[in-house]
Structure 1
Amino acid sequence: MDLYQDWQKNAKTKFKEHKTFLQRLKKQKKGKQIDQIVNDTDEAAFETFDCLACANCCKTISPVVTATDVKRIGKHLRMKETEVISDFMKVDADGDYVMNRQPCPFLGADNYCSIYEARPKACREYPLTQNQGFNQRPALHARNTLTCPVVFHVVKELKNKL
């Protein structure tokens, strides 16, 4: 079974199990070992999985968009920052700018991002499996198992190896 099918079939049923596992990891003193397993598993998963075949992140969640991101997007689109905000952004409950609709207004029918070179920092870093301190954000990574097949696979492999 490929990563995508495994994820589609099991993400919701394994959510509580993965969340509990990730919460337990936060208490462990194996941060560097965990990060190494996560990074290796992530790299292997991305060698076989094509984000353009999925784009679920772009279809279902909105990144936080910083002022720097707005400036970069505006320059890319040759729009004023205020126009970028009024056309594509809204303020969420936390007071942050996010995209004003889902799927992302920049996602094409072919799953390509029309502003890929200028995309927000949060999009560049997603799914956060290459960042250090993976075990310090259990709730975030648990939620991401529902959004991204690679994160689901990383957590599944992490459980197998620890």
Structure 2
Amino acid sequence: MQQWEKLSADHQKQYKQFLQKADKKKVLKQLPDLHEKVFAEVDCLTCANCCKNYSPRFKTPDIKRISKVLRLKESVFIDTYLELDTDGDYVTKTKPCPFLGSDNYCSIYEDRPSDCKRFPYTDEDVLLKRPAITLKNSTFCPAVHLALEFLLKS
């Protein structure tokens, strides 16, 4: 376990309390600068935990776009790579993501699902509006952990 993962595990209660009581307007104003600060320290290509352990939702526009890029019929793309989860969303059948290379680069990066483009939501109100997701993300994403650490200290 890396040091940040232990710290994140130790701080889950603090994160939860912060997210429940945070001055949402104040925090939302901080997010653009916070996002820049976090990603000045975190390089996703050294980690890729999100791609290795979780799947984004593949929404209809994502499926249409990626199928076209891969020159596959949508039904073939779905049958080859996706399955329905318990919420009825399409997710990857396998982990790590089938589009993740051994170098942690994504083979469909320019056309990746919208969930991937937005992750880890450190520049969005999702950070506050969906605390359960933020807490879960902080356990495997060093960027979310670091964002919450910065917010706790601000």
TM-score, scaled relative to structure 2: 0.92
Pairing partner for 2:117 from 120, 124, 138 = 124
Query: Across the two proteins, how many residue pairs are aligned to each other?
Result: 154
Amino acid at match of 1:22: L
Amino acid at match of 1:126: F
Say whether residues 1:94 and 2:94 are aligned partners.
Answer: no
Higher relative contact order (CA 8 A, sep 6+): 1
Q: Structure 1's 59 and 133: CA in aligned 2 closer, same or farther, altered over 3 A?
A: closer
Residue 95 (structure 1) shift = 0.6
Pairing partner for 1:78 from 71, 74, 87 = 71
Q: Tell me which residue corresponds to 1:8.
A: 5
Structure 2, unaligned runs of 5 or more: none
Q: Structure 1's 104 and 157: CA in aligned 2 closer, same or farther, altered over 3 A?
A: same
Pairing partner for 1:111 from 82, 101, 104 = 104
Pairing partner for 1:21 from 18, 23, 32 = 18
Say whether residues 1:141 and 2:138 are aligned partners.
Answer: no
Identity of aligned residues (%): 43
Structure 1, unaligned runs of 5 or more: none
Instruction: Note if contact 1:127-1:144 (Cα within 8 Å) is conserved in structure 2.
Output: yes
Secondary structure of the residue that 1:98 maps to in structure 2? Answer: strand
Say whether residues 1:154 and 2:151 are aligned partners.
Answer: no
Q: Tell me which residue corresponds to 1:68.
A: 61
Say whether residues 1:34 and 2:27 are aligned partners.
Answer: yes
CA–CA separation in structure 1 for the residues paired with 2:132 and 2:88: 20
Q: Structure 1's 133 and 84: CA in aligned 2 closer, same or farther, altered over 3 A?
A: closer
Considering only aligned residues, what root-mean-square deviation do their CA atoms show, in Å? 1.7
Instruction: Note if contact 1:66-1:120 (Cα within 8 Å) is conserved in structure 2.
Output: yes
Q: Tell me which residue corresponds to 2:36.
A: 43
Secondary structure of the residue that 1:23 maps to in structure 2? Answer: helix
Residue 6 (structure 1) shift = 4.3
Residue 11 (structure 1) shift = 1.9
Amino acid at match of 2:82: M
CA–CA separation in structure 1 for the residues paired with 2:24 and 2:14: 20
